[in-house]
Chains A and B, each alone.
Chain A
């Protein structure tokens, strides 16, 4: 199975900050990477697919980049509703696997 790692595991940021989360795959996955946002006690919400394509309805302050084994999720200007845990997921190879998550806290 492809192992996914994320860094940092948590971060503290203020409203308006630019936030970057990194996701790494244990082997190349081309651009078959998704990002999800999960708020406490809620279901995950899809944000980005194919490494950089924004899911319909997702604000443009979210962006993704990368290919191969290293990927980033960037929030250009953090908003109060963005405080959540973010997961990456590879869907290049079966079985699909998720990263351990990055929790974005209020500073």
Chain B
């Protein structure tokens, strides 16, 4: 079974600075999908960024980018120019690419605080 590990329960960053959240996973599959979800105090789960394992290029969405290291099974999220609205829980998630695959396996989350 796949597992997803987020080793940093809490992190903080100064407003306008850059922060990197770590995520590692364990899998024997060669193709799969990785996601970062944001959960602000409103509780809503919001998809931030996604990556397919076969794509070499790291995904980028505005101030959010990932560092995907397939051999190391690492999928870290970098937030540039941090804003107060980035304060939230961040969850890393894994999904197999197998036929009929559906299940997201989540990490335990990292709580990000943004200091004004």
Are A and B physically bound partners? no
Interface of A toward B, CB cutoff 8 Å: none
